Amino acid sequence: MTDESPLDLGEPPQPAKAEAYRVLARKYRPKTFSELIGQDAMVTTLGNAIKRDRLAHAFLLTGVRGVGKTSTARLIAKALNCIGPDGQGGPTIDPCGVCEPCRAISEGRHIDVIEMDAASHTGIDDVREIIEASRYAAVSARYKIYIIDEVHMLSKAAFNGLLKTLEEPPSHVKFLFATTEVHKVPVTVLSRCQRFDLRRIPADLLAEHFAHVVEAEGVTAEPEALALVARAAEGSARDGLSILDQAIAHADIEGGGVRADMVRAMLGLSDRGAIRELFGLLLKGEGQGALKALRAQYDLGVDPQAVLKTLLETVHAVTLTKLGTAPQPGQSGEEVRDLEEWAAALSFPALHRLWQLLLKGHDEVARAAMPIESCEMALLRVIHASQLPDPGDLARRLASGEMPAAAAPVQAPAPAVPSAPVAQAEPEPPALPADLPAMVQMLQDRNRFALAEEVRSIVRLREYDAPKIEFAAARALPYDFLRELGAALREITGVNWQVRAVEGEGQPTLREQGESEAAAEKAAVMASPLVAAAMDAFPDAELVGWKRSRSN
């Protein structure tokens, strides 16, 4: 080694940097129109427009989240600016993806394709910049393209400033707008754009797409699991891929592939087999069994509202089966058999009544202070209604002259010879409850638990003279409370009741009376010498309960 040539070992070798993980929603964005699922009509229209050189100067893409609006805008930009692998190509519905414009647009670095988020650039000044820049020709591309996402968030002044340029833009400029709320876009803007409504992606197409994704990721997945993910996505490819990403990560922790039971637990969905069992118990009128099955789901962490939602889906599926609709993707053979059995046993009126009862219960649980208790009351109401005769059948029997034996009036045979009229005893009037507590007990005895609880909590009595009730309401009356209470009392007693709510004050509600009595009793217990001495000896003690002596 000489002084003229010192030994230079250079930089020490560096470990290769791990490539940052890209979420599935970004990794599997469509790169060509053939990869854009569920939007065949739009692709056909765009392809024909490009072939015939009938390109609009502005496109408006609308649809729910995750159906591919921004991805479609980028594909249109590639299609209009693609020059082919040899650099001699023109606009095409099948961009090559290898030329410099295609690669630059895919990577978001093309100088002539400008993306702007209208949510953060809402003002007239932002639009002025676009108007000024649009006067200059494209630097390296065939067209200068402006992609404005969530365009509905532009201000009124910004929209007005854009109108003239939007109607008569320079020949080298194209505008691509994307929005989820097209109704907020002014009509003056809509009339200057070619509009494409991107559809929700059907669940079967999403499940098929997710199958290709898990295969590419080297992950196994049950078809039912993919169907659950597709249904949870509600037509959004991006939402579905995000859920699938989470399911794959969960599967890595648990070991094995993506399983349906794991996806169900991850999404907080109730087990469909358990829901079918609950639905069967409701149809059989087994109240205790139904409540036990509901509590089992609740103990597993399933939200009561989710249980009612799945029951509604079951009623809907039975109705579709009765209409002869083909089974949905992801339905097991056992589920299909159960649906066919229920469809054969239930009439359309019965299914419609079930739907209305469960829908009302779902709405009640959504705003209830005690969701699980409200859900139990809703299921008991379904069971009670299932035991009632079909109104249509009763109407037909009345029209034909048929009556149940218990309801048919008994007539004495006509005497053979004239005789003095025989006075018949008048039927005794039904026993009416003597007071409000007795009326509440009567409602409970007839399984009207929810209505009885509302009476206890709401009715501040002003006058009770059965069959007449006049009261002031302790709080806002539930919808149809007066009608439901009057109908229930008439059905139970056979007498028409007058139920009135008036302004002013009334007696405390039964619930308030019970709370006052409990408070007074607690105060008496606390004042007793023995308890007072105990509280003095143990200042931090708390009275959590007491039992009244029989001698008192």
Q: What is the mean pLDDT of residues 8-33?
A: 72
The H or E element spanning position 144 is strand 144-149
**CA nearest 244: which of 216, 271, 272, 270?**
216
Give the pairing type, strands 58-62 and 194-197: parallel
Question: What confidence score (pLDDT) does residue 40 get?
Answer: 85
Taking each helix axis from N to C end, the angle separating 287-299 and 272-284, rounded to the nearest 10 degrees, works out to 160
- Domains of the chain with bracketed CATH: 24-197 (3.40.50.300), 203-267 (1.10.8.60), 272-386 (1.20.272.10), 436-507 (3.30.300)
Q: What values do phi and psi take at 60, rounded to 5?
A: -120, 120
In this structure, what DSSP letter does residue 461 have?
E
Per-residue pLDDT tens over the stretch 109-165? 899 999 998 888 888 888 898 888 888 888 888 999 999 999 999 999 999 988 888
- Stated as kind and residue range, the H or E segment containing 468 is strand 468-473
| Tokens standing for residue 149 | 């996402």
Q: Is 363 exposed, middle or buried (0-12, 13-18, 19+ CB in 10 A)?
A: middle
Q: Is pLDDT above 50 for 415?
A: no
pLDDT band (50, 70, 90) for residue 405: very low
CB 264 within 8 A of CB 300: no
Tell me the range of 333-337, 383-387, 418-422 where mean pLDDT is highest: 333-337
CA 351 to chain CA centroid, Å, is: 21
**Tokens matching residue 270:** 């109730």
β-bridge mates for residue 59, sequence order: 176, 194
- Residue 393 has φ and ψ, to the nearest 5°, of -65, -40
Place of tokens 């579709």: 320
Extract the tokens encoding 290: 């139904």
Share of the chain above pLDDT 90, in %: 10
The pLDDT tens digits for 244-254 are 888 888 776 55
Tokens of 528: 């007793």
Q: Please give the single-letter amino acid code of residue 203.
A: A
Lowest mean pLDDT among 66-70, 404-408, 441-445: 404-408
* Average pLDDT, integer, range 377-397: 73
Q: What is the dihedral of CA 295, 299, 301, 305, to 10 degrees?
A: 10
36-94 pLDDT, tens digit each: 888 888 888 888 888 888 888 899 999 888 888 888 899 999 999 998 888 888 888 88
541 vs 245, higher pLDDT: 245
pLDDT of the residue at 419? 41
Report the C-alpha gap between 471 and 376 in whole angstroms.
28
Q: Are 176 and 40 in contact (CB under 8 A)?
A: no
C-alpha angle 95-100-104 in degrees, rounded to nearest 5 = 90
Find out whether 142 and 91 touch, Cβ atoms under 8 Å.
Answer: yes
- For the ranges 85-94, 288-297, 378-387, the lowest mean pLDDT is seen at 378-387
pLDDT at 426: 45
- Residues 380 and 288: their CA atoms lie apart, in Å, by 9
Task: State the pLDDT confidence band at 389, using cuts at 50, 70 and 90.
Answer: low
pLDDT at 178: 92
CB 244 within 8 A of CB 208: no
Write down the pLDDT at residue 230. 86
Contacts of 39 (CB under 8 A, 6+ apart): 67, 68, 72, 198, 199
Model confidence over 332-377: pLDDT tens digits? 677 788 888 888 888 888 888 889 999 999 999 988 888 899 999 9
Rounded to an integer, the average pLDDT of 470-496 is 83
Spell 75-98 as b/e; 16+ CB within 10 A means b.
bbbbbbbbbeeeeeeebbbebbee
CA angle 357, 358, 359 (to 5 degrees): 90
Question: Mean of the pLDDT values across residues 276-305?
Answer: 87
pLDDT attached to residue 421: 42
Q: From start to end of 221-314, where are the E strands?
A: none
Between 545 and 494, whose confidence is greater? 494
Confidence class for position 412, pLDDT limits 50, 70, 90: very low
Q: 0.85 exceeded by the pTM?
A: no
Those residues with Cβ within 8 angstroms of residue 364's Cβ, 6 or more apart along the chain or in another chain = 374, 377, 378
Spatial distance between the Cα atoms of 277 and 265, rounded to a whole number of angstroms: 18
Rounded to the nearest 5 percent, the helix, strand and coil shares of the chain are 50, 10, 40
